[in-house]
Structure 1
């Protein structure tokens, strides 16, 4: 009997070791930190076919943090909701930016209503790699920084949009509440035209080029996705196990606005928009350098492409609304 029990225990141990090696029991974590001067309500959406996490939405007060455990091979997106309230008579919860339409703090499988700054992930994806980006393709509502903790590779580094673009958002893209600019739409959302949405005759990398609005976003936030085919400079990868630190309003805080800008629609020149926050941006990367074990690149032309083709990169990511 003792011999039988020993065999059972050995088999159980071997099974657990197999599961750990295969990644079934292993998981990554998101540590989400709010450094904004206001409350942020993170929302999380798992990709189709992937089970929702134990939490899909919660509140973070200023300087609060929360760690979320992820299953292996997880994919989805994360964003911050702002200016949220709960109706005292109906109990319905809603947000002015990033609302997921569930009527509750938990998003429960609902996506973010644009405009919203999005962090997108495919963990343990193609070739066992993690793929991630911070996207302004759905517009912008607050600064966000993603820092991998662990993982390897020349392209395993921090990304995000760390400046406040709301104060310098062109008037035709601006979302306001009580006289305050609270978000910045994508050009596709604002105008619905094919050249901004990369649709119809503009639905390929050859025909869809970054608009002056996309270039405005890119100048302010060089590492963030600015339009549909912005893969080479805006998609990042990590090999091996990595956790991710996600910070809303990293230093400098959102109260430090980028330069007041011009109006892209008023000029046909792609250089006419002025939302030049490069000094603030570089200062923020320098501030966060100490928290990341990875090298920060000075330029973005040498960043690795995903599997060598735009097509593979597009296949990896969820469908996007386009700038």
Structure 2
């Protein structure tokens, strides 16, 4: 998508580069962080209870990943699992340690960042190339940088919601109750996918790629096909590459080119459920966010609402942003009007009651006792 380095004006008022991690899930999450280059945060692994945020800093040239670990149990000093053997977490485990020194075990949802690629750009994405375990969003922190402050917020903050039981209804509008949802607003509202329903969100993962497929028979009857069996709500999903490690799925060997490596069933399903997410190795044109360097970021687990469609609905504006480092005034006005109009249409066509088990975006989190997603 990037054609040339944008005009860079690093007029930040803050010298730090924050990396925030927030948990809006109904259960504890143990975030993991790995650093590929630059200076990473002080802690690479920790526990976040529902509603908690961890605020750390990284260097301006940091490159790394953030993911969520689930159902963890560590020993007293966090160096191994509570039992002393095997993994400490059901998903995203990093050699049983609380403070990660290696990447997370697949399947895992990833937030990936290259804060300064040396060309004036910051690149970031939500990657499901290694599989999916928890919903996540990435929220830009402009840091009072006037170059970044001028970018409409609904172009920069993608969200992926692929978990049954946490998907808001079709036509959902978060702004009446949460006017600054994911640092956006009614003037520049996020574009949400409206096609995925409860049936699709519960069955998008191909049967053989489920981390813990339900046992047969389902509900006492041996059904055909397998996909008629009821699945658990929390159901991590391997990517085809992570599960099978085949060249055609991992885009390696003779398949190491966009013309030779095509999206698998898993990749296609990912794009239908999380349109702004990276689904396979050569999916960068429809999954990478490119902005001028100088921003900080927040990773939000279980952000609520629905998956965003930023890269497909605002293709022209995203191309301009990646090439010029800004969106011109005419495009900004058009984006504002189009987004507001779509928001009004969705609000007019759908009436629903806000359910706090679906929108877990407040510090004080209300959870229905009968729904325990990660157990």
TM-score, normalised to structure 2's length? 0.59
> Aligned residue pairs: how many?
245
* 1:69 corresponding residue in structure 2: 57
Show CA shifts across 1:255-291 (max 9, x none).
xxxxxxxxxxxxxxxxxxxxxxxxx435xx8xxxxxx
* 1:97 corresponding residue in structure 2: 91
Find the aligned partners of 1:104 and 1:34 in 2 and give their Cα distance.
Answer: 20
Find the aligned partners of 1:36 and 1:96 in 2 and give their Cα distance.
Answer: 16
* 1:28 corresponding residue in structure 2: 17
Secondary structure of the residue that 2:248 maps to in structure 1?
helix
Secondary structure of the residue that 1:195 maps to in structure 2?
helix
2:47 to 43, 50, 59: 59
Q: Is the 8 A contact 1:143 1:250 kept in 2?
A: yes
**Alpha-carbon shift at residue 171 of structure 1 (Å):** 1.7
Show CA shifts across 1:50-81 (max 9, x none).
34421100000011111111112111000000
**Alpha-carbon shift at residue 162 of structure 1 (Å):** 2.2
* 2:207 corresponding residue in structure 1: 171
Find the aligned partners of 1:160 and 1:208 in 2 and give their Cα distance.
Answer: 26
Tell me how large the CA RMSD over aligned residues is: 3.0
**Alpha-carbon shift at residue 29 of structure 1 (Å):** 0.8
Check 1:84–1:281 CA distance in 2 against 1; reply closer, same or farther (3 A cut): same
* 2:73 corresponding residue in structure 1: 85
Secondary structure of the residue that 1:190 maps to in structure 2?
helix
Following superposition of structure 1 onto structure 2, how do residues 1-323 of structure 1 map, counting pairs within 5 Å?
Answer: 26-47=15-36, 49-86=37-74, 87-88=81-82, 90=84, 94-101=88-95, 103-107=96-100, 109-150=101-142, 151=148, 153=151, 157-164=156-163, 167-168=202-203, 169-176=205-212, 180=232, 181-252=234-305, 280-281=306-307, 299=313, 301-302=315-316, 303-304=318-319
Q: Is the 8 A contact 1:153 1:239 kept in 2?
A: no
Higher relative contact order (CA 8 A, sep 6+): 2
Q: Which runs of 4+ in 1 moved over 6 A?
A: 305-308
Find the aligned partners of 1:301 and 1:209 in 2 and give their Cα distance.
Answer: 22
Find the aligned partners of 2:43 and 2:55 in 1 and give their Cα distance.
Answer: 11
Unaligned runs of 5+ residues in structure 1 are 1-20, 253-279, 286-295, 309-323
Q: Is the 8 A contact 2:132 2:238 kept in 1?
A: yes
Unaligned runs of 5+ residues in structure 2 are 1-9, 75-80, 143-147, 165-200, 216-231, 324-375
